[in-house]
């Protein structure tokens, strides 16, 4: 543990051309609190957008004015727990929602202000429906370890199974005529020919830089979101022999991607990133640490919609005339610190606009986090690295390090500061525990049995 005895917060000015976040060109237009929450996808077709959630169904928006999306209705997935759905496809007068083990929600979408569920397809099939795509009369469903399933939706009121083809772990599908591109988990990119839907066959498969979660195509280019490894670009001019072109390792975890003109927008867990092929490699041309949990993304022209678990944020891509501030982190949880000792963490603030950023007020709200220095301005293309020192005088210290500025779309930005949480903190040994196994077994799980191994624990709560 790195310890010091004095309490201070210092900053260092770093000019453009040094260690930059490369963030720029994204302006926040609006933050929307839709009727549903746990937002999981952004599906856009024409003037309409569907945002499904883990709670409260799927919200339908009118996006005829892209910068001013208006919620007009909600699709409640009858038969699905919490009305939960994950990915949607709009195809003319009908819409289809992949709802994993629940099946595919089939909706009459002829009146978007009053969508009506027709049926729940595949509800008892034992398949996990993750993504859907429609090509002509064929509905393509990605069903994880069971590959992809093809349905005939000539009559959406009487959908018929056509065929199924296996793959490694189909998370997402995108199509180009009779070719289907599959984000195939650890297998990378898999290409399937469905020119004869009754007899689909695998054309090729190619490993990616990481585990594939989402796929989008434009022309002969295919983009894959590959989690911790960012985004891969492939040339598929010859589908039998895809060519890896470039990888850009985004700052967090790339889960979903969307095409905007000759660029690709990435939902990257803590941030939104815009990438562009420059003829040699993928490079970052847009960035915004949103402070939310970015789960999915969509775009119309230069307008970008970011589904951030609780909120829907609307951005516009383009050069920013005024100041534009970006933080490298929105939350700092300090490791456990003994009473009277201190620990240092840092956060980078960058001005990605074209005007000087002027600060009217810089503050810290808890006495255990002390600010001895103040920044008054920051030139365009420059950044400040703040070193924040936490000194443990009380338990469970929680505060805010924030500032007010002339940034037009974020006049107040802040970082949540947490010190010595009640419970186990970063850097402390995990306490041993024993819990019953409630799925795939009836024994007990004891943490000490896995000493020396990596153990991932995920806790979820719904209320």
pLDDT at 281: 97
Q: What is the β-pairing status of strands 412-419 and 331-333?
A: parallel
Q: Are 175 and 159 in contact (CB under 8 A)?
A: no
Instruction: pLDDT tens for the chain, 463 residues: list them.
Output: 333 333 333 334 433 333 334 447 899 999 999 999 999 999 999 999 999 998 999 999 999 999 999 999 999 999 999 999 999 999 999 999 999 999 999 999 999 999 999 999 999 899 999 999 999 999 999 999 999 999 999 999 999 999 999 999 999 999 999 999 999 999 999 999 999 999 999 999 999 999 999 999 999 999 999 999 999 999 999 999 999 999 999 999 999 999 988 899 999 998 999 999 999 999 999 999 887 889 999 999 999 999 999 999 999 999 898 999 999 889 999 998 889 999 999 999 999 999 999 999 999 999 999 877 788 999 999 999 999 999 998 778 999 999 999 999 999 999 999 998 766 766 677 788 888 876 566 788 888 888 888 887 766 655 4
| Dist. CA 83–CA 35, nearest whole Å | 13
- The top-level CATH class assigned to 9-19+325-419 is mainly beta
Q: Can you give the residue ranges of every domain in the chain?
A: 9-19+325-419, 26-317
pLDDT at 460: 61
* Tokens found for residue 286: 């847009």
pLDDT at 7: 35
Q: Which CATH superfamily is domain 26-317 in?
A: YVTN repeat-like/Quinoprotein amine dehydrogenase (2.130.10.10)
| Dist. CA 183–CA 286, nearest whole Å | 24
Q: From start to end of 2-111, where are the E strands?
A: 9-14, 26-32, 37-39, 43-45, 48-55, 58-62, 70-75, 87-91, 94-98, 104-108
Q: Is 451 exposed, middle or buried (0-12, 13-18, 19+ CB in 10 A)?
A: exposed
Q: Are 437 and 443 in contact (CB under 8 A)?
A: yes
pLDDT at 378: 96
Q: Are 111 and 94 in contact (CB under 8 A)?
A: no
User: Which residues are registered as beta bridge partners of 40?
Assistant: none
Of 417, 357, 412, 361, the C-alpha closest to 387 is 417
pLDDT at 347: 93
Q: Is 266 exposed, middle or buried (0-12, 13-18, 19+ CB in 10 A)?
A: buried
User: Which residues are registered as beta bridge partners of 166?
Assistant: none
pLDDT at 21: 42
């Amino acid at each position: 543990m790195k310890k010091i005895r004095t309490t201070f917060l210092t900053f260092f000015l770093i000019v453009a051309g040094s260690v930059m976040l490369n963030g720029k060109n994204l302006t926040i237009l609006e933050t929307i609190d839709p009727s549903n929450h746990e937002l999981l996808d952004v599906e856009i077709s024409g003037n309409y957008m569907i945002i499904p959630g883990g709670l409260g169904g799927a919200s339908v928006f009118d996006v005829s004015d892209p910068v001013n999306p208006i919620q007009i209705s909600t699709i409640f997935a009858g038969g699905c727990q919490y009305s939960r759905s994950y990915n949607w496809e709009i195809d003319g007068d009908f819409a289809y929602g992949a709802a994993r083990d629940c099946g595919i929600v089939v909706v009459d979408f002829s009146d978007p202000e009053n969508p009506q569920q027709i049926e729940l397809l595949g509800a008892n099939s034992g398949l996990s429906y993750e993504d859907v795509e429609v090509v002509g009369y064929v509905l393509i469903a990605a069903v994880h370890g069971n590959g992809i399933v093809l349905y005939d939706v000539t009559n959406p009121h009487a959908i018929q199974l056509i065929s199924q083809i296996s793959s490694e772990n189909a998370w997402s599908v995108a199509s180009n005529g009779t070719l289907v591109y599959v984000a195939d988990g650890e297998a990378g990119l898999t290409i399937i020919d469905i020119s004869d839907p009754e007899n689909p066959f695998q054309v090729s498969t190619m490993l990616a830089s990481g585990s594939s979660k989402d796929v989008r195509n434009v022309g002969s280019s295919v983009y894959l979101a590959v989690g911790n490894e960012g985004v891969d670009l492939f040339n598929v001019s010859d589908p039998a022999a895809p060519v890896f072109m470039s990888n850009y390792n985004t700052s967090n975890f790339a889960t979903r991607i969307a095409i905007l003109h000759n660029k690709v927008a990435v939902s990257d867990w803590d941030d939104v990133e815009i990438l562009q092929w420059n003829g040699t490699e993928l490079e970052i041309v847009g960035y915004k640490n949103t402070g939310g949990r970015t789960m999915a993304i969509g775009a119309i022209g230069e307008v970008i919609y970011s589904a951030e678990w609780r909120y829907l944020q609307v951005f516009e891509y383009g050069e920013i005339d005024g100041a534009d501030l970006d933080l490298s982190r929105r939350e700092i949880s300090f490791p456990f610190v003994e009473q009277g000792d201190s620990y240092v963490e840092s956060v980078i603030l960058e001005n990605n606009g074209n005007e000087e950023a002027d600060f009217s007020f810089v503050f810290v709200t808890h006495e255990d986090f002390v600010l001895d220095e103040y920044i008054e301005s920051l030139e365009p293309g420059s950044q400040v690295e703040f070193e924040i020192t936490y000194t443990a005088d009380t338990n469970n210290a929680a505060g805010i390090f924030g500032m007010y500025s002339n940034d037009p779309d974020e006049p107040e930005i802040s970082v949540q500061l947490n010190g010595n949480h009640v419970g186990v903190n970063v850097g402390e040994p995990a306490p041993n525990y024993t819990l019953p196994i409630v799925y795939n077994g009836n024994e007990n799980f004891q943490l000490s049995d896995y000493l020396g191994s990596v153990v991932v624990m995920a806790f979820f709560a719904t209320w």
